[in-house]
Structure 1
Amino acid sequence: MRHTRVKDLLNGTNILHEVNAKGWVRTFRNNQFIALNDGSTINNIQCVVNFENTPEETLKRITTGAAISVTGNLVESKGAGQKYEIQVTKLKILGDSDAEKFPMQPKKHSLEFLRENAHLRVRTNAFGAIMRIRSVLSFAVHNYFQQKGFVYVNTPIITGADAEGAGEMFQVTSLPLENLPKNEEGNIDYKKDFFGKHTNLTVSGQLEGETFAMALGQIYTFGPTFRAENSNTSRHLAEFWMIEPEVAFNNLDDNMDLAEDFIQFVIKYTMEKCPDDLKFLEGRLLEEEKSKPQAERSEMTLLEKLNFVLENNFKRVSYTEAIDILRDSTPNKKKKFQYIINEWGADLQSEHERYLVEKHFKSPVILFDYPANIKAFYMRLNEDGKTVRAMDILFPGIGEIVGGSQREERFDVLVEKMRVLGISEEELWWYLDTRRFGSAVHSGFGLGFERLVLFVTGMTNIRDVIPFPRTPQNADF
């Protein structure tokens, strides 16, 4: 008999029929009641074992984590909390199960412990919910752009370009590290490397994406990116996924419209598709909040934060106006900010961004027209000569979630900016060609996918929203 997913059994109406379900045991109570889960839903289905047709040796092997197959009649449940249950007539253990060694016992585990067991943590309710939400969000991203007529572009993972100019990149080489070839100057001879030049893992698909936007009009990338930033914070990963649309003929206002519409679409879609998982995570977070001091508790529940983004227009504020607001704010005057705002030109921190969203405007915020010296070389220089057409979107509880800009389409201005910053024209000759031939106004933005999953799930550490986190000194699994 073909097995039926637990989600379909719980949502169906075809009771009093024989069914087969397969999954993993979450709990086994009183030597009779099995809570079975197959990953299709946060909810378990109760399976009631019949002693008469289940050998005692089989009962002893029904342990937490065991994979089993049950066959029986689907009936309305007499117990509270479940609609249906399976009255088991046949039970089979599908694989070996060592109850004493299985780490994911039915009790509360610390998130740190679960990270150490990332290969098994998805069997817990919390991580099952997170990964289902991640999957739905991923589909929603493609769904949005495909509906809008965007072309999906796969940009290179191995590249010779540093899109951000930060230099924090993972080098790719096939050279023998124990005997590196040298040139006449005594430097490493990269001409003998696999690609004949110095190459790295990409930090962004943007530059390559721009070249396609100049031919296809509107494109998006959605792929892995890598940054060798030696940071062990709850906001950083060495390997993560980026969503980067680029649109020809869009100015900064168009870019802000696109980003706001996109984010609201994917959040609304996920809320519609994952109500049970979100409800579970909201309850989990409410329990966690109870253990915090009153001053540190969130003012909004998870679903309230998501609706906050859906129900409020994003407030658009210039960097200059934001600096004035922050400089005159009570936390700044009373030195409650960790980073005090004294003058124009400061690089805003998460605490400043959250103040603007949660305390001052009480809505999502889009900041624009940042100082040129704190933004990347490819952003369009404004007429004042000191700001660029950049934008960041700020959310409650998380701060910046999107960064983007109108790109510098003027060849001479771009070359001069690269010269001042020491960026090689020779290495980016192909990028400059898009300004030589048929240049036009264009814009785009980048959204770190894990940052989005972090917001939607309400988790507080980015390592908990990716299947296998890559961080300094950690490449397990």
Structure 2
Amino acid sequence: MNPLSVRDILGGRAPKDAPVTVRGWVRTRRDSKAGISFIHLSDGSSFHPVQVVAPNTLPNYANEVQRLTAGCAVEATGTIVPSPAKGQPFEMQASAVRVVGWVEDPDHYPIQPKPHSLEFLRDVAHLRPRTNVIAAATRVRHTVAQAIHRFFHEHGFFWVNTPIITAADAEGAGALFRVSTLDLANLPRTPEGRVDFAQDFFGRETFLTVSGQLNVEAYCLALTKVYTFGPTFRAENSNTSRHLAEFWMIEPEIAFAALSDNADLAEALLKFVFKALLEERPEDMAFFDERIEKGIVAKLQGIVQSE
């Protein structure tokens, strides 16, 4: 039986009156006095988890289901029915719950059902994708990247993969990260006492790219409409939100175009991406609007609807 995603289940795309399987990680488990456990299960496909209703008639109810804690990996099989609970359209009435993986030390499992600071999450980077903020940011970034590629494809642009390791300084005004295989404790020297980069891997100084623009401009003069979208690196030692050591940058280039053509393209791209984001990730954006930046949804809607 092919498993369904939580997003498909909550979106009403599960078959009716037929057993389905869902796999994911436990967010919370609550037991009722009536001998029923309510397990919130997330697989990352949706902001909201799906509720799995597990009765005490399951053969492993006492020795496994009631021992489930946050972070346990579970496979649940059952029937999807409308949920009487507020805030969730559907839930699963489980006929089987199989534990795929346990959390060895539940008392010290760091990702609990409560808000965590970003500083704290940096110390548990291997588990932070299970939090609302990181999972939502990942889904939003995916949607934005897909929309960017879709926009340029529909407008006749070609995507150019420019080098990440390069000998060129495309900006000429900033610090670069050097790429080298030389032994820093025993650097080769020229007769003048300088580092002999001729003995390095590429036979010359090389760096992580600060921009793909120089390369993509050459392609523009052959393919007319091109763009690069990939990682760039800046070595400015500045600890602000406006100076990142690594980020992804979009750089379109158009031949035979005026400044107004570039401005129109930039506006159309932003509206296209924001519209896709609002339509495809409403729950994630609602979360950001509530917890990260008040009014961001209205702001993006205003841009999309502007003339």
Tell me the TM-score range normalised by the shorter chain.
over 0.9
Partner of 1:68: 74
Q: Give the aligned residue type for 2:68.
A: I
Q: Does 1:246 align with 2:225?
A: no
Q: Is the 8 A contact 1:172 1:201 kept in 2?
A: yes
- Kindly indicate whether structure 1 or structure 2 has the higher relative contact order, using CA contacts under 8 Å at least 6 residues apart: 1
Per-residue CA deviations over 1:178-222 (Å, capped at 9, x if unaligned) read 111111211111112121111111000001111110111111111
Partner of 2:119: 112
Partner of 1:58: 64
Q: Is the 8 A contact 1:15 1:76 kept in 2?
A: no
Partner of 2:51: 46
**Alpha-carbon shift at residue 108 of structure 1 (Å):** 1.6
Partner of 2:2: 2
Partner of 1:263: 270
**Alpha-carbon shift at residue 308 of structure 1 (Å):** 2.5
**Residues 1:64 and 1:43: Cα distance change in structure 2 (over 3 Å):** same
Q: Give the aligned residue type for 1:309.
A: I
Q: Is the 8 A contact 1:69 1:91 kept in 2?
A: yes
Question: What are structure 1's unaligned runs of at least 5 residues?
Answer: 287-297, 314-477
Match of 2:303 among 309, 314, 318: 309
Q: Is the 8 A contact 1:156 1:202 kept in 2?
A: yes
Per-residue CA deviations over 1:260-304 (Å, capped at 9, x if unaligned) read 111111111111111121122222247xxxxxxxxxxx6xx1111
Partner of 2:25: 24
Question: What are structure 2's unaligned runs of at least 5 residues?
Answer: none
| Residue aligned with 1:12, SS | coil
Distance 1:82 1:191 in 2: 64
TM-score of the superposed pair, with normalisation by structure 2:
0.93
Matches within 5 A, 1:439-454: none
**Alpha-carbon shift at residue 119 of structure 1 (Å):** 2.2
Q: Give the aligned residue type for 1:177.
A: L
Partner of 1:137: 144
Percentage of pairs with the same residue: 48
**Residues 1:117 and 1:234: Cα distance change in structure 2 (over 3 Å):** farther
Distance 1:81 1:310 in 2: 28
Matches within 5 A, 1:400-439: none
Q: Is the 8 A contact 2:221 2:255 kept in 1?
A: yes
Distance 1:35 1:170 in 2: 45
Q: Is the 8 A contact 1:222 1:241 kept in 2?
A: yes
| Residue aligned with 1:88, SS | strand
Distance 2:66 2:83 in 1: 25
TM-score of the superposed pair, with normalisation by structure 1:
0.61
Per-residue CA deviations over 1:358-380 (Å, capped at 9, x if unaligned) read xxxxxxxxxxxxxxxxxxxxxxx
Per-residue CA deviations over 1:351-410 (Å, capped at 9, x if unaligned) read xxxxxxxxxxxxxxxxxxxxxxxxxxxxxxxxxxxxxxxxxxxxxxxxxxxxxxxxxxxx
Distance 2:123 2:241 in 1: 16
